[in-house]
Amino acid sequence: MRSQSLLISSLAVFLLTLSPVRADDDPESVVVTATRTPQPAAKTGESISIITGEELQERQILPLADALEETPGTTVVRNGGAGQNATLSIRGAEAGQSLVLIDGVRINDPSSVDDEALLGDLFVNNVSRVEVLRGPQSTLYGSDAIGGVVNIITRRGGDTPFALNASGEGGSFGTYRFNAVANGTDSDIEYGAAANVYHTNGISAADVRNGNPESDGYTNIGATGNVRAHLSDTVSLDLRSYYTNARVDFDDNFLFVPPFTVADSAAYERNMLFAGYAGLNTDLLDGMFHNRLAVMESDSQRAFYDSAFDIVHKNESFAGRTTRLEYQGTFDFSPDQQLTFGAEYQRITLDEKDISSFAPQAVEKGASHVASGYAQYLVTLFDQLTLSGGLRYDNDEEFGSHVSAKATAAWALTGWGTVLHANYGDGFKAPTLFEQFSNFSNPLHALRPETAHGWEIGASQRFLDGRASATLTYFNRRTTDQIDFLVPDCSMVPPPAACAVRPFGYYENIARTRADGFEFDAQAKITDEFSISANATNLTATDLSTGLDLARRPHWTASATADWTATNWDVGASVVYVGDRFDSAGELRPLSAYATMNLFGSYHITDHVELFGRVENLFDARYEPVFGYGAAGRAAYGGVRLTL
């Protein structure tokens, strides 16, 4: 552990002398997630990272999880290769405690156990930018934002009526992918649309080193659409959509002898998600008063087949639906004063069916209704100090009312190239529908919402006439009433009352947790052609009830990227490091640290034709991302891209 700390500390000191301006360090970089309105990143007082569509294309990243893995403060855990179940933890939060948006629409799946987004099916498709906001954000975003918010913004509009970007590639494990993107501006219409097909024969989800030779394939078909129609100089209509349909083979067989690892099986899963948005925007009072009224809905369908523990073909099905109504108003009193306020209503539903040859079909249904209102005021004083404060009120039909608060400060020291920032935020998460209504619901009493309180303080410094910058942030969050799965000890005499109805376990508010640590982020543009970047996160995530580490939270994560661009070609490399961690609560099943390196490059034959290729996991690192599950070894891919 000491050697890892020295290595990362040395890297940090080195980059402090070189680090360049990154999008999230550039004061002129405008973000929308932190305040729900466009604001320069340096004025938000928040820790926010920006991943641009150009960066994703240069690095040839396909699953968005791979890009998030290179972002400060985030941990991605995947049960095997491409398409397998993948979860996101921001600053040590649980998977379902971070909110994922696509063009403003929540894609967290209400039919999942923890209400998390299905990150394994989320592929890069016409992405303009991704904003990753870290820390509790319930004041503006309500439930599911204890860890933070990931906002994916797709590309719309352009300088011409029609532009096309199409690509095809193939490579290791029988993998191929086709993608087509069209966007443009024609008169009063701005649009963007994309279609994506991805397939791989894959690797065994269960680690092949444990005697599991069967490959688990994956197929993903997806599409996005984003249209804005300007009905007048002050009124516009937005229509947005997102669709994905996937099939993934996985392994659910488990050995009943030590070490009880997962084994090959014929199981597979089908996932479908559709999300839609319709919004009307109006500007009043000579553009000072901006209004948005929107309705959005997401519909998810999941089904599991051929489990190793049953003989029926279809084992389980889940249907989740989210319907939201939103109004948001923004009043610009002046360039330095802004009031943002809004009202929301959300209804989510769950319909689950358990099908077994050993018992009658079980059906579980549930619904939740929440009405909310929020307001936030932002002001800049003396052209240097930006302050904001906000409150939110949520009225949950099942769990009553909840108030969240948020305050931020950002102080730009004139002439020093320094920005100091600090913030405090509340977070909360209502129990999921699965936790409330499945056959693992609490038989003794109603669950309580999870609540969190977090704060951070940090500084960013610019060097070399704005060509360099670095940021260091300390963060701290405490969560109470965290929900976890509890298995009663039915061997007791007399046995607990829950054993009569929930002998295999149920959900309970049993944990108090703390997560704190440091994030370091820097980049360096050494020359006009060569740039490097690096980040490192030191995290301690602890169950305060036991004093032990939370599962699958590495103390150290880090990544670095180098890129060399010339007239007709671009080459680069990236490294991701994930430190030691435990697979299970109670510091059980330790998992070793690992590092992987990728190479990528492209060559422009003409202005319209580009060849590209990459090598993933160059040194063929072998590791377990989850106990008993495997990861892909060295792999190579190549393709061609056409632009019109």
Q: What is the pLDDT of residue 127?
A: 95
Q: In the predicted model, is pLDDT for residue 2 greater than 60?
A: no
Mean pLDDT in the chain?
Answer: 92
The conformation of residue 206, written as its DSSP 8-state character, comes to B
* Contacts with 90 (C-beta within 8 Å, 6 or more apart), sequence order: 73, 74, 97, 98, 132, 134, 147, 148, 150
Confirm if 179 and 158 have CB atoms less than 8 A apart: no
Query: H-type helices in 214-305, by residue range?
Result: none
Q: In the predicted model, is pLDDT for residue 24 greater than 90?
A: no
Band of residue 15 on the pLDDT scale cut at 50, 70, 90: very low
Per residue in 230-250, pLDDT tens?
999 999 999 999 999 999 999
Q: In the predicted model, is pLDDT for residue 227 greater than 70?
A: yes
Q: In the predicted model, is pLDDT for residue 485 greater than 70?
A: yes
| Alpha-carbon distance values, 466 to 26, 415, 461, 470, 525 (Å) | 8, 12, 9, 11, 10
Query: What pTM was computed for the model?
Result: 0.92
Per residue in 343-394, pLDDT tens?
999 999 999 999 999 888 889 999 999 999 999 999 999 999 999 999 999 9
How many Å apart are CA 569 and CA 562, to the nearest integer? Answer: 14
Per residue in 393-411, pLDDT tens?
999 988 999 999 999 999 9
Query: Helix, strand, or coil here: 66?
Result: helix
Q: What is the pLDDT of residue 248?
A: 98
More confident residue, 420 or 16: 420
Per residue in 428-448, pLDDT tens?
899 999 999 998 999 999 999
SS3 string of 309-341?
A: CCCCCEEEEEEEEEEEEEEEEEEEEECCEEEEE
Q: What is the pLDDT of residue 586?
A: 85
Band of residue 131 on the pLDDT scale cut at 50, 70, 90: very high
How many Å apart are CA 601 and CA 574, to the nearest integer? Answer: 12
**In terms of Cα–Cα distance, which of 135, 16, 23, 28 is closest to 412?**
28
Q: What is the pLDDT of residue 453?
A: 96
More confident residue, 33 or 316: 316
Band of residue 305 on the pLDDT scale cut at 50, 70, 90: very high
Q: What is the pLDDT of residue 468?
A: 87
Q: In the predicted model, is pLDDT for residue 20 greater than 70?
A: no
Give percent above pLDDT 70 in the chain.
Answer: 96
How many Å apart are CA 349 and CA 366, to the nearest integer? Answer: 6
Q: What is the pLDDT of residue 415?
A: 85
Per residue in 96-117, pLDDT tens?
999 999 998 999 999 999 999 9
Q: What is the pLDDT of residue 256?
A: 80
> Which CATH code for domain 2-252+260-643?
2.40.170.20
Give percent above pLDDT 90 in the chain.
Answer: 82
Band of residue 29 on the pLDDT scale cut at 50, 70, 90: confident
Q: In the predicted model, is pLDDT for residue 8 greater than 50?
A: no
| Alpha-carbon distance values, 322 to 143, 297, 370 (Å) | 13, 5, 11
More confident residue, 18 or 390: 390
Per residue in 560-605, pLDDT tens?
999 999 889 999 999 999 999 999 988 899 999 999 999 999 999 9
Band of residue 31 on the pLDDT scale cut at 50, 70, 90: confident
Q: What is the pLDDT of residue 379?
A: 97
What's the residue count for the chain?
Answer: 644
Confirm if 72 and 537 have CB atoms less than 8 A apart: yes
Q: What is the pLDDT of residue 35?
A: 85
Q: What is the pLDDT of residue 25?
A: 41
Band of residue 511 on the pLDDT scale cut at 50, 70, 90: confident
Band of residue 6 on the pLDDT scale cut at 50, 70, 90: very low
Q: What is the pLDDT of residue 22?
A: 37
Band of residue 18 on the pLDDT scale cut at 50, 70, 90: very low
